[in-house]
Structure 1
Amino acid sequence: MTILGIDPGFGILGYAVLRASGNIFESLCHGTLQTKKEEKISLRLKFLYEKLIELVDRFSPEEIAMEKLFFSRNVTTAISVGEARGIVLLVAAQKGLEIHEYAPHEVKKAVTGSGRATKREVQNWMKILLNLSEIPKPDDAADALAIAYCHAVTRNFVRRFKE
């Protein structure tokens, strides 16, 4: 199973591609898509769309895992993140991919065992669990990797529970 993990963002969108086979996990790639602040919103969204299509076409994930939107005090940020999430949902629909969403505390718990883990603890665990040579960077890419991992282990647990 190949999973595309997404940490949605408008200025910076984190992505990761994770291959999961039972309890064996392999990071195929991770990184960020960064839009230019000076460009029109429509062009920034188009850029995210095109790059996500390229990732899906290149790695052929079976599912997409994305962080759930949570509201903060900054409504403008929440709206722009919502627009980026809309692009991810559109790509998933066009490519016929299931999308699964996880709250930040669910991701932290799946990776570290604690829903209150720090960003640094999550990054350290991702390095260990995926046998990476270094901590995944930048933060948005590490978050996307953790989201994909969360989905993989959650999926395994649910499958075993049903059996």
Structure 2
Amino acid sequence: MSNKKLILAIDSSLACPAFAVCEVNLITKNIKVIEVSHVKTNSKKSTGFRLFQIWNHANDILDRYTFDAVVFEKGFNKFAVATQQIQRTVGLLLFTLYCKEVENIDEIAPTSVKKAVTGNGKATKEQLAEALESYVGVVKYKTNDESDAVGVAIALALQKGWI
């Protein structure tokens, strides 16, 4: 049994999905960010084209790593169109993961991520990003979505008792 676990955490959206690859050391109970990235899609392009961009990015990550755990931030929005877009992206990513023989996938609600990482389920994105430093140190996030993805990875590691 390995002393390390590799997590892929995804903050999915059609506009700017983010991906965090994090490694947990089960002996030291530490977590570190290996890679964090996002795909900024162009809203003027077709949904099919935007999903293709996301698929390419996800495939690249899945070709380079073998994950012990994959976790999504549970997507929701009070607006029907945004919720549909999130669900299209989630569907695409679930299919992509399945094609790579990844079937065991967790989901964590945004409030659960915030509660686990900051102690406050209603924390702002900025408060979440700040709290991440106590787990992974200073990371240069290009978007709030990237820091959200790292938060999802940390929440899963905490849930599983890995850290």
**Could you tell me the TM-score, scaled by structure 2's length?**
0.89
Cα shift at 1:148:
1.0
Q: Which residue in the other structure is 2:21 paired with?
A: 17
Pick aligned residue for 2:160 from 146, 155, 158: 155
The alignment covers a number of residue pairs equal to: 156
Match of 1:32 in 2: 38
SS at 1:15 equivalent: strand
> Which residue in the other structure is 2:91 paired with?
86
> Aligned with 1:12: secondary structure?
coil
The alpha-carbon deviation at position 71 of structure 1 amounts to: 3.6
5+ residue gaps, structure 1: 158-163
Which 4+ stretches in 1 moved above 2 angstroms? 134-137
- 1: CA distance, partners of 2:35 / 2:94: 21
List per-residue Cα deviations over 1:139-161 (Å, max 9, x = no partner): 0000011011111111127xxxx
Higher helix proportion, which one?
1
CA deviation vs aligned residue, 1:12-65 (integer Å, no higher than 9, x gap): 101111101221101001121111222221111111112101111112222211
Alpha-carbon shift at residue 121 of structure 1 (Å): 1.2
CA distance in structure 2 between the aligned counterparts of 1:149 and 1:140, rounded to whole angstroms:
14
Q: TM-score, normalised by structure 1?
A: 0.89
The within-5 A match list for 1:58-77 is 58-72=64-78, 74-77=79-82
CA distance in 1, matches of 2:101, 2:13: 22
Moved more, 116-125 or 99-108: 116-125
Sequence identity (%)? 25
Q: Where does structure 2 lack aligned partners over 5 or more consecutive residues?
A: none
